[in-house]
Structure 1
Amino acid sequence: MQLKFAHDSDYFFFSQLLMRHIENYVRKHPDADNAIFDLRDIYDVFREDFASTTTNLEGILNIADAYRVETLNGDERLIQNYKIDVKNNSLLIDFNVDALQSLRSGHPLIEPDSSLQE
């Protein structure tokens, strides 16, 4: 079964917004190996797009976790694991330690190719 998304570009746009938010978080919290974001903050990051914060969030995170950072071991994903905690209205993100260190040392995020769908 193959599903076609009517707004593919929106998923990539919102994943880009989320990754820039994460990048800023990493700069402000240099000792953090994970992050917990309130979904209300993500709602603000997504410019108050309710669908992206609720129904589409899993698809956006699926793209966001494909972002990589160059490390000594090659390009590695920044997001190692994530969980949407509906009960506590939060997004939990665990970072890949090597990729996180490379990001902190100034290596840029490597965006996934939007023409390839995983």
Structure 2
Amino acid sequence: MNLNYSHKPNYFLFAQLLIRHIEGYIKKHPDASNAIFDLRDIYEIFRHDLAATTTNLEGILNIADIYSVDTLKGDQKIIHAYKIDAEKNSLLIDFNQDALHALQDGKPIIEPDATTYQ
């Protein structure tokens, strides 16, 4: 019997969870141009996966950074910039304004193709 398993973290799952959290945040705070999330909240979103919240967070954000929305100017990334502040235990995310307005107008999020990444 041969069991195939992988020790690779599922960055795409966590990126999806983070983007859906951001989407909910944008709906609750339509005037926001950025967001500051406490890393303890991210830990909860990632279902208590400490590695995803600490060591792997940069890799997860690199994937979350690819999510986009169709705007009048073409596909625009939702996340314009982000910064992890370990001292303040926070994650700062600046939103792309065109993508933000498109999301508020009900445009769907365009997800990256997980099969093209290694």
Q: TM-score, normalised by structure 2?
A: 0.92
Report the Cα offset of residue 7 of structure 1. Answer: 1.9
Which stretches of structure 1, 4 residues or longer, exceed 6 Å deviation after superposition?
A: none
Matches within 5 A, 1:1-80: 6-7=7-8, 10-80=10-80
Distance 1:52 1:38 in 2: 14
- Which residue of the partner structure matches residue 92 of structure 1? 92
Q: Distance in 2 between matches of 1:100 and 1:25?
A: 11
Deviation at 1:117, TM superposition (A): 2.4
Aligned equivalent of 1:105: 105
The CA RMSD over aligned residues, in Å, is 1.3
Return the offset for 1:115. 1.2
1:34-88 deviation line (CA, Å, top 9, x unaligned): 0000000000000000000000000000000000000001001000000000110
In structure 2, distance between residues paired with 1:110 and 1:87: 33
Distance in 1, matches of 2:46 and 2:82, equals 18
C-alpha displacement of 1:6: 4.2
The one-letter amino acid of 2:26's match is V
5+ residue gaps in structure 1? none
| Alignment gaps of 5+ in structure 2 | 1-5
Partners of 1:58 and 1:97 lie apart in 2 by 23
Q: Separation in 1 of the partners of 2:7 and 2:108? A: 30
Tell me, what secondary structure is at the counterpart of 1:88? coil
What is the identity, as a one-letter code, of the residue corresponding to 1:86? A
Q: CA deviation at 1:116?
A: 1.6
Q: 1:6-41 deviations in whole A, cap 9, x for unaligned? A: 425x10000000000000000000100000000000
